[in-house]
């Protein structure tokens, strides 16, 4: 990949979300800062070609973070990055998790835990994994399981991303996406 195709943090442009300046009049709001993307979906920002009869469309928020830049080798350890929960996610539950590697690792798995440092609990009862030669956790042989007794967050919680294992031939570049919704 050509160097000019990467941004300041080393992530290929095609992997980054489109940046949108926050505007209170927008139906869908996105906030991007230092590799972290917040987005807000409203019923009016859903696919306009689809007829919606249910007015109770769930509104959620997604938090996306670049843990390792695209050319950086993924390494094990607790606290590879910390995330602050602000008022836009207050009272929501973690409902989905996804991990993506820019370059897949070989032999073994990359295992990831989401830890709520404020509450001193792991949020996943089964870790988020990426299998050998795969790039995404969505194809994992053993899917991640969110512990529904530890999935809630409030303003000023701090979440920690822990990398508990990596493949023998280590992967490069790691992006984590966390999805939240109001219970």
pTM surpassing 0.75?
no
| 105-153 pLDDT per residue, tens | 999 999 999 999 999 999 999 999 999 999 999 999 999 999 999 999 9
Q: What residue spans define the domains of the chain?
A: 3-181
Query: In CATH terms, is domain 3-181 a member of 2.60.120.340?
Result: yes
Task: Flag whether pLDDT at 179 surpasses 80.
Answer: yes
Say which residues have a Cβ less than 8 Å from residue 114's Cβ, sequence separation at least 6. 94, 97, 122, 123, 124, 128, 159, 160, 161, 162, 176, 178
More confident residue, 143 or 60: 143
Task: Flag whether pLDDT at 91 surpasses 50.
Answer: yes
26: phi then psi, degrees, rounded to nearest 5: -75, 145
* Six-digit token string for 30: 């996105």
Return the SS3 of 159.
strand
Q: Give the helix ranges, DSSP H, for the chain.
A: none
CA distances from 7 to 12, 33, 65, 74, 175 (A): 7, 13, 14, 19, 15
């Amino acid at each position: 990949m050509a160097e000019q195709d990467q941004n300041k943090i080393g992530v290929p442009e095609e992997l980054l979300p489109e940046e949108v300046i926050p505007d209170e009049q927008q139906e869908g709001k996105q906030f991007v800062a230092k590799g972290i993307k917040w987005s807000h979906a409203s019923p009016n920002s859903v696919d306009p070609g689809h007829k919606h009869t249910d007015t109770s469309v769930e509104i959620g928020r997604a938090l996306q973070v670049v843990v390792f830049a695209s050319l950086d080798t993924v390494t094990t350890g607790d606290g590879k990055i910390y995330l602050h929960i602000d008022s836009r996610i207050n009272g929501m539950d973690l409902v989905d998790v996804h991990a993506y590697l820019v370059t897949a690792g070989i032999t073994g798995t990359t295992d990831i835990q989401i830890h709520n440092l404020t509450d001193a609990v792991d949020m996943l009862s089964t870790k988020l994994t990426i299998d050998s030669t795969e790039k995404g956790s969505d194809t994992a042989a053993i899917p991640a399981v969110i512990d529904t007794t530890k999935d809630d967050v409030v303003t000023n919680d701090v979440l920690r991303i822990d990398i508990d294992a990596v493949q023998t031939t280590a992967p490069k570049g790691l992006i984590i996406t966390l999805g939240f919704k109001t219970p």
